[in-house]
Amino acid sequence: MEQRTKKRHRIIEVEQDSPAEQAGIRAGDALTAMQGEPVQDEIDYQFFSSMESVELAIARDGGDFTVTVEKEDWEPLGLSFAEPLTGATRTCANQCVFCFVDQMPAGMRDTLYVKDDDWRLSLRSGHYITLTNVGDREFERIIERRASPLYISVHATDPAARVRLLGNAGAGNIMARLRALHGAGLRFHAQIVACPGYNDGAILERTLDDLAGLHPAAQSVAVVPVGLTKFREGLAHIPPYTRDTARELIAAIERRQEQCLARMDTRFVFAADELYCLAGMEPPPEEAYEDYPQIENGVGMLRQLEMEYRFAWEEPPPIRPRRVLLACGVSPAAFLRGMLERYPLPGVEVEVLPIGNRYFGETVTVSGLLTGGDVLAALQGRENAEVLLSGCMLRSSDEQVFLDDMPLDELRGRTGLTIIPVGNDGEELLLALAGVGGRI
C-alpha cells in the first residue's frame, strides 16, 4: 500500500488582507496538512483551497498548531511557497511498441527524451496518460480529488492486446480503472494510437464498444495513426498506414460515428486529421467535429483553421501583392492548397511547399516534426519570395529554435530569405499572407 508522506511546504509570502493573513499565518511558517491530510502537491492544495472552511496544520519555530480559515469558495488562501507544489514530473513505466521517444536519434536536447506519464499534467494541461504508473492508493486520490476530466491513452481495452502494446504486464486492468472513474461521476477523454496488426479490426471494435458503454463519463475518443520514424532498428515491426488502410480505418470510424450519433447524440469517436491526409481524403465538415473535443490531439485542426481563415477572408485587410511560399509538412499540403484556391487573395501568389522529413524519415509527414535542416534543404535555390512557416516547427515564441536546435535566425541567414513563423490560427495566416503580419 502506498503511503502519503508528510511534507513541509515553507511559506515565503502571505498576501496582505488575504484569508491566510487574517488567520494569523505569516512568512516563514510551513504548511504540513489541510483538513488533516498531508499536502502532496498542487492538486491537494487547490482541492482543499476551494473549500469555504479549511483547517490548516502549520509548523512554526515556536511550535506546531492548526488554524481554520473561513473564506469564500472562490477566494484563494493567499499563500506563496518557497518551492513549487507541482513536484517532479512522473515518468512512464511502459515500453510501448509505438513509443516515439524510442524512435528518435541520439544527440537531441535532453527534454525530448523525457517520457512523461503524469496524471496531474493530464488534469492541468490535457496530457495523455496510461495510468500504469498509478498505484491503487494514488488512484483513490484521483477519485477523492475529483480529478476530471482526465485524458487517457487507452489504445485497447482487451487486456492481452493492451499489455502487448504497452509492454507492461500490469497494463491490462484499464477497464477496471475506467469503470471506477465512471462510477465516481468523473469524466475522461480517450485516445487510441492505431497500430496495424496490434489494435485494429476486432480489437478496435471491442475498444470502441467498451468506451461507448462508459458514456458520458467517456466524453470522446480520438483515433490517431501510429507515427513511425526511420530510427526503428531493434524495435517491433509495425507496418505504416497506406492510402488504402487509412481509408479502411476511416470507414470503420465513420460507421461507428453513425451508430453513436443515433444512440448517444454524439459521434463520440473521431479520426485524426493525419488519417484523412494519409488517405488522400477531405476532412469532414465543421459540424462533424461537434465542439472539437479532441482538437489538441490533431482532430479537426485543419477544418478549424479553414473556418477561421474563411471568416477573416470575408472582410480582408488591405493586401500587399507579392509572391509567398507557404512551407509545411507533406500531410497538410493538399488541404492548404484547396483552401487557398477556395479563398484567394487578389495579387498574392501563394505556392504551398510541402517539405519531406529527411531527419526522421519520409514516413513522418506532419509540420511539427520538421527540422531546420529539412526546411533549409527545401529552400535551397529559392529567391525573391517571402516564406511563411508554421510556428509549431519551433520550440516556442521566446525560443525560435527547431527540433535540431537550428535557430530561426540561422535559417534566415543561410537562405537570405524573409521567413515569418505563423501560429495555427486561420486569421493569423490570412493576415500574414496579406502582408499585414505574422507571429507565433
pLDDT digits (tens, 9 = 90+) for 219-259: 999 999 999 999 999 999 999 999 999 999 999 999 999 99
Evaluate whether 122 touches 189 at the Cβ level (below 8 Å). Answer: no
401 occurs within a structural domain? yes
Q: Is 36 left (phi over 0), alpha (psi -120 to 50) or beta?
A: left
User: Alpha carbon 394 to chain centroid distance?
Assistant: 16
Q: How many domains does the chain have?
A: 3
pLDDT greater than 70 at residue 4: no
Mean pLDDT of 84-98: 93
pLDDT in tens, 17-36: 999 999 999 999 999 999 99
pLDDT greater than 80 at residue 409: yes
Of 81, 110, 140, which residue constitutes the final position of a domain?
81
pLDDT in tens, 356-406: 999 999 999 999 999 999 999 999 989 888 999 999 999 876 789 999 999
Question: pTM to 2 decimals?
Answer: 0.91
Of 37, 52, 81, which residue constitutes the final position of a domain?
81
* 312 and 288 within one domain: no
Which residue type occupies 440? Answer: I
pLDDT greater than 80 at residue 440: no
* 386 and 411 within one domain: yes
CA contacts within 13 A on the Cβ side of 180: 15
Report how far residue 15's alpha carbon sits from residue 29's, in angstroms, rounded to the nearest whole number: 14
pLDDT band of 192, cuts 50, 70, 90: very high
pLDDT greater than 80 at residue 199: yes
pLDDT band of 6, cuts 50, 70, 90: confident
Mean pLDDT of 173-201: 98
198 occurs within a structural domain? yes
319 occurs within a structural domain? yes
* 292 and 199 within one domain: yes
pLDDT greater than 60 at residue 2: no
252 occurs within a structural domain? yes
184 occurs within a structural domain? yes
φ, ψ (nearest 5 deg) of residue 188: -155, 155
pLDDT greater than 70 at residue 437: no
* 373 and 239 within one domain: no
Mean pLDDT of 45-74: 93
Cell, residue 165 = 502494446
21 occurs within a structural domain? yes
* 405 and 333 within one domain: yes
* 273 and 137 within one domain: yes
φ, ψ (nearest 5 deg) of residue 73: -65, -25
> Domain containing 132 — which CATH number?
3.80.30
* 326 and 279 within one domain: no
* 318 and 275 within one domain: no
pLDDT band of 1, cuts 50, 70, 90: very low
Of 298, 325, 354, which residue constitutes the final position of a domain?
298
* 356 and 342 within one domain: yes
Boundaries of domain holding 180:
101-298
Cell, residue 162 = 493492451
> Domain containing 426 — which CATH number?
3.40.50
* 385 and 320 within one domain: yes
* 280 and 328 within one domain: no
89 occurs within a structural domain? no
pLDDT band of 5, cuts 50, 70, 90: low
* 261 and 133 within one domain: yes
> Domain containing 32 — which CATH number?
2.30.42.10
pLDDT attached to residue 439:
43
